[in-house]
Amino acid sequence: MEFIYKILRDYPEIGALFIATTFTALGFIFKTLIDTFLENKKNKNEIRRIYWTERINAAKKASEYYYDHLELIGLMIHKIDIALNHNTPSSLDEIISVTIEKLSQRSINPTSFEHHHIHMFYNFDFEIFDKLNVQSFDLIKKLENFEILESDSFGVIDKKLEEMKSILLELKNNHKTKKDIYKKYLKRINNDLGEFAK
């Protein structure tokens, strides 16, 4: 310590240079640490912003897609109700059939597949939809195979109609299950977005 004091007393220029260099080095290190910290924070905020932008866009697209499906399923349930309540086709039944056709085309061939991005953020179980779709397909095939013959007696016709109603009710329950699942998924998405907005 006494050595440093003698050098500073005898050679003030070297002492001033030493002090200036030391404080410059400390300032540079301190500034670098602060810049690194701020840059990391800025990068994290940018990543968080991109993440939530993508998540919100995926939620919007998925919500639109799910609402289309809910509307389609609702109309299919309504059509089944009409078939169960009326033995003859009506003009309302034809209008519903046309609307179902339009909605199903929109669901099968959406303008964008961005609704699939929702799977990056949620682990929804879509295997159940595959299972329900297979069941629906099998039920529809059963309905298509029903045939009322002229030779059938009234008892046989009544039995066939009861079987058809039973299949229609099963199909309706199948659609209601899908509708409930879609509603559950939409509720989860909306709750999460609501939490983000707080």
Tell me the pLDDT tens digit for each residue of 91-110: 556 666 777 676 666 666 66
On the question of pLDDT at 57 being above 70, the answer is yes
- The pLDDT, as a whole number, for residue 113 is 63
- The segment with the largest mean pLDDT, out of 15-24, 34-43, 178-187, is 178-187
To the nearest whole number, what is the mean pLDDT of the chain?
79
Residue 102: phi, psi to the nearest 5?
A: -65, -45
The pLDDT confidence band at residue 16, using thresholds 50, 70 and 90, is: confident
pLDDT of 43 > 80? The answer is: yes
Instruction: Please say if the pLDDT value at position 20 is more than 70.
Output: yes
pLDDT at residue 180 greater than cutoff 70: yes
Rounded to an integer, the average pLDDT of 170-186 is 89
Confidence (pLDDT) at 95: 66
| pLDDT at site 112 | 60
**Residue 89 predicted with pLDDT over 60:** no
Quick one: pLDDT at residue 134?
86
Residue 88 has pLDDT above 60, yes or no: no
pTM greater than 0.75 (yes/no): no
Percent of the chain surpassing pLDDT 70 = 84
What per-residue confidence (pLDDT) applies to 138?
86
pLDDT exceeds 80 at position 62: yes
